[in-house]
Structure 1
Amino acid sequence: MNIILVSNSTTKTRNIPLPFALLGIGLLSLLPALLLWVLIVPHGMHQHKEAPLHPYFAHAGEQVHIDALAQQLGEIGAKVLRLDALGARLSSLAGLKGSDADVLPPGQGGPMVDARTMSGPELAYRIDALAQSIALNSDKLSMLEAMLLQQRLKASTLPSTMPTDVAYNSSSYGWRVDPFSGKVAFHEGLDFVAGTGTPVYASAAGIVTAAEQTPDYGRIVKINHGAGLETRYAHASQLLVKAGDRVERGQMIARVGSTGRSTGAHLHFEVRLNGAALDPRKFLQSAK
């Protein structure tokens, strides 16, 4: 079968085989689709060029890496908050005020260099290195906190506070003439002359091991400060604590009296290490 085309101007006819006619009609039917492709595809390609994705994040599967980095950043933020809290505790232990503990950022400078975008793997490596550095510094600060706490504990249990408000002592540590026998004898403490009822204070924090009446010491309080260190407060008129009590430095534990082997109202104060008497003045002077 043929298709006959007639020209008005020349009144001539032209035979076109059917297969070629079908081909022409097919091309005409594809023309709208071709126009649509020409209009849309370049526009999409243009938008793609305007906002290119980094090759590391170009595939949908890389979302897993982004989520992992976000989680690492969250963990680092939590560690920084813990470091801030630890720094505040260290400042408090060191006796620093808020303004004293503030650290100004260090000065920085240098020549201008061209900026570049880090790749995903490089960014992940930097984040991991930062997290390790924070963890290491956190461990160091924790050790420093433990050392400061230990020093504060030692300071609080060192008998350096005056056991009474009276500074004068009538009999010092060392050899003296015993007021009862008249013979030379070693005096193992300090005697503070004070009126009956004058407050007696714990020279340091500790645990009361005895609050009792004895023939020589009269009413006495013994406080264990740890590491073999002990203080004794003798000849009291009244005991205000009992064995097992936890006392703080400066806490009132008794009142001055003249009980036991005593010639008058006073406080007899001793410091002992593993049972051996030490000169209390060396401890009291350390507080000055």
Structure 2
Amino acid sequence: MTTANPAARAAWGLEEGDPLPDALARLEPGRHEQVALPNQPDRLFDIEVVPFGDSGRLVVGEDVTRRVRDRERLARSERLALVGQMLAQITHEVRNPLNAMSLHAELLDEELADLGDDSEARAMLQTISEELSRLERVTARYLDLSRRREPELAPTNPTALVEGVLRTDEELWRRAGARVRLDGEVGGVVELAADTLRRALHNVVRNAVEAGAHEIVVHVARQGERLRVTVDDDGPGIGSEDLRRVFDPFFTTKVKGTGLGLAISRQELEEAGGSLVAESVEGGGSRFVLELPGRWDQG
């Protein structure tokens, strides 16, 4: 590269006189879409390469990161909206016969009361009742996931919010043999989508525990006008292929997972102006970063 204008140097992370990055130098003449550079992995460029003079080339680039990300968010939002409609309809259709079966199981249990608790018929009925209860819990969870919630801002102490989430599920973590602790502290009051953050943090920590993590550290910090909550765990990590799909609806590696918790959590955070990103190395633990904008109390 002989020369580059200031915009190109700034976009591609170059100093004046630096050679053209290999990822660009290797491009043949023509149009190349959504090119990522090694030194700018989070940005995408549309590149046009045209012959220039006898042996030169003119490289013109446009940063399309925001456009691509907005398009991806819109596609995810549309998919999740459709998923929500399907879940609500299916759950409604399933719950009606479930309620009828549960009622008749209770009536049958009363009819068999004279047989005693040790009878084979009562034992089989008990199994039926337990499985019906499990199905009712599953349908209730799907119905909860299908409900679209508008973000509501509320005055919140960030540290107290995180402590509350961890305390609510403390018994669950203990039974799973996991230790979850809070690192860092943010004082004062901030107005943000508190319930959205609670649900997302609960999903992330619960996923880490269910994935086999034994040590989970939740760090809370203020980054400018945004609240950042980072969840680090010592679990098995996420493979590169799975990491690309971890927020896709219905994608799960858990036997009993719905594959919707993380997808909906990210969608809700983004609708509130925030974000949820995942980083991981297979065999080396995972990190999830939750961010939300807030209006901070200046007092």
TM-score by length of 1: 0.23
- Structure of larger gyration radius: 1
Structure with a larger share of its residues in helix: 2
TM-score by length of 2: 0.23
